[in-house]
Amino acid sequence: MNDPISHKLFERAQALIPGGVNSPVRAFRAVGGDPVFIARAEGAYVYGANGAQYTDYVGSWGPMILGHTHPEVIKAIVAAAANGTSYGAPTELEVRFAEKLTQLYPSIEMVRAVSSGTEATMSAIRAARGFTGRDVTVKFEGCYHGHADFLLVKAGSGLATLGVPDSAGVPSSTAGHTSTLAYNDRAALRELFAARGDQIAAVIVEPVVGNMGCVPPVPGFLEEIVALCQKHGAVSIFDEVMTGCRVALGGMQQRTGLTPDMTCLGKIIGGGLPLAAYGGKRAIMQQVAPLGPVYQAGTLSGNPVAVSAGLATLERLDAGAYEKLEHLASRLEQGLLAALARTKTSGHVQRVGSMLTLFFNDGSPVRDWADAKKSDTERFGRWHRAMITRGQYFPPSQFEAAFVSIAHTEADIDATVRAAEEAMLERA
């Protein structure tokens, strides 16, 4: 805001890149003003092209759980790069990566590395279809699972932000294979299975939603998904691209004790480099080429530099790290709630571990997309702009989760809460 350097860069960017950005939410359309162009980052902070410091609650949309430029992660990246940046051939590193993921996620018996969360979900569903011989995918409104055609139906994240839950360019014949239900609606799920259970290949779910803002599952919802899939021979897929290694080292499946048939991972497991993975039951993963007839491949899949960054990150995530994240994020949650009360602003904070969202709504809990979209997005935009001017970098949309890292300090959180309270009072 009032940052001439970002403004000039944004003009140059808009001339050549759609919306001036390489991923839509970054354009700040939902909150107004120019996006901050980032020049560098360290620990809990990002620095704008104009040199301004921001306390970062975006964390590259999730991966930076250790904070930015963690010395051990950078060391691992540099060491790996010195040995060559890509071979397109198997490496010991990716074997260690597979061993690590299968150890952290007991539901994953075999795993394949890919380069983005989009590839992970798209490939998991292809494998589920190949395995079941069925076509229908069930997803939940407001959940975002990347930008594969058949998953861009009533999707969250940037689509929710821009108010276009369905993308143009997706053939209706493709979208027709996707059934969408309200998140947390167990009865609707039971009805759908009763009517079409023998056609359903997979149910894919964000076990805590991050992409309509942070929305936790109601008790029994995830259990019902796993049980109904099992009963009807469909494949349950936990899309833990965001929650994986975030809400616990073993993701939401560790917190719930549930065993989905398949799991998608991304973000944190790549330590800030392009790396993701999908895996699950051996019988399903054995469908994937070259073992089976389901094709999936990638030039940079299992890239040694990315895998090194991921392993270095995972090695640093011990029980102490999650205790610290819980403590800091709880302090932020309590601080924001107190700020709402002190400023007589109506709103609600939802948090699971170190992911959270401040909803500017009537104070009610948000359980699904119908609830989320009742939020006052104008009010959120005003608050966000006021936060940026105070050096606080939150996701530029009401419908995204903010993340705390272990590089944040209590002093950072307290300063953020003070800024948030001032920002709630700002009228412009």
Q: Which residues, 6+ apart, have CB-to-CB distance to 80 below 8 Å?
A: 93, 304, 305, 307, 308, 309
Where would I find the beta strands (DSSP E) of 214-304?
235-239, 262-265, 276-280
Query: What is the length of the chain?
Result: 428
> Is 105 a residue that touches ligand PMP (CB under 6 A)?
no
With respect to ligand PMP, which residue has the nearer C-beta, 98 or 155? 155
> Is 150 a residue that touches ligand PMP (CB under 6 A)?
no
Q: Is residue 89 within 8 Å of residue 239, measured between CB atoms? A: no
> Is 242 a residue that touches ligand PMP (CB under 6 A)?
yes
Retrieve residue 348's tokens: 């609600």
Backbone angles phi, psi at 190, to 5 degrees: -60, -45
> Is 303 a residue that touches ligand PMP (CB under 6 A)?
no
> Is 304 a residue that touches ligand PMP (CB under 6 A)?
no
Q: What residue type is 314 in one-letter code?
A: L
Q: How far is the CB of 217 from ligand PMP (least distance, A)?
A: 13
Q: Which of 145, 281, 367, 373 binds ligand PMP (CB under 6 A)?
A: 145
Closest CB to ligand PMP: residue number: 117
The count of chain residues that interact with ligand PMP, using the rule CB under 6 A, is 17
> Is 239 a residue that touches ligand PMP (CB under 6 A)?
yes
> Is 421 a residue that touches ligand PMP (CB under 6 A)?
no
Annotate each residue in 38-77 with x if it binds ligand PMP (CB under 6 A) or - if it does not, as one string.
-----------------------x----------------
Q: How far is the CB of 144 from ligand PMP (least distance, A)?
A: 5
Annotate each residue in 159-198 with x if it binds ligand PMP (CB under 6 A) or - if it does not, as one string.
----------------------------------------
Q: How far is the CB of 266 from ligand PMP (least distance, A)?
A: 5
> Is 137 a residue that touches ligand PMP (CB under 6 A)?
no
Strand duo 276-280 + 110-114: pairing: antiparallel
Retrieve residue 31's tokens: 């909150």
Q: How far is the CB of 276 from ligand PMP (least distance, A)?
A: 6
Closest CA to 406 of 299, 301, 323: 323
Q: Among this protein's residues, is 3 annotated catalytic?
A: no
Q: Which of 57, 144, 183, 322 is flagged as catalytic?
A: 144
Q: Lay out the sheet containing 110-114: strands in order across.
A: 110-114, 276-280, 262-265, 235-239, 200-205, 136-140, 178-181
Annotate each residue in 362-401 with x if it binds ligand PMP (CB under 6 A) or - if it does not, as one string.
----------------------------------------
The 3-class secondary structure across 348-409, one letter per residue, is EEEEECCEEEEECCCCCCCCCHHHHCCCCHHHHHHHHHHHHHCCEECCCCCCCCEECCCCCC
> Is 210 a residue that touches ligand PMP (CB under 6 A)?
yes
> Is 296 a residue that touches ligand PMP (CB under 6 A)?
no
Q: Which residues, 6+ apart, have CB-to-CB distance to 212 below 8 Å?
A: 142, 143, 156, 160, 183, 366, 369, 372, 399
> Is 403 a residue that touches ligand PMP (CB under 6 A)?
no
Strand partners, 178: 137
Q: Among this protein's residues, is 239 annotated catalytic?
A: yes
Closest CA to 161 of 369, 351, 20: 369
Considering only residues 250 to 289 of the shown chain, the ones binding ligand PMP according to CB under 6 A are 266, 276
> Is 144 a residue that touches ligand PMP (CB under 6 A)?
yes
Q: Which of 6, 55, 107, 116 binds ligand PMP (CB under 6 A)?
A: 116
Q: Is residue 201 within 8 Å of residue 234, measured between CB atoms? A: yes
C-alpha span between 115 and 122 (Å, rounded): 12
> Is 206 a residue that touches ligand PMP (CB under 6 A)?
yes
Q: Among this protein's residues, is 278 annotated catalytic?
A: no
Based on its alpha-carbon atoms, the radius of gyration of the chain, rounded to whole angstroms, reads 21
Which residues of the chain form contacts with ligand PMP (CB under 6 A)? 61, 116-118, 121, 144-146, 157, 206, 210-211, 239, 241-242, 266, 276
Task: Give the catalytic positions in this structure.
Answer: 144, 239, 267
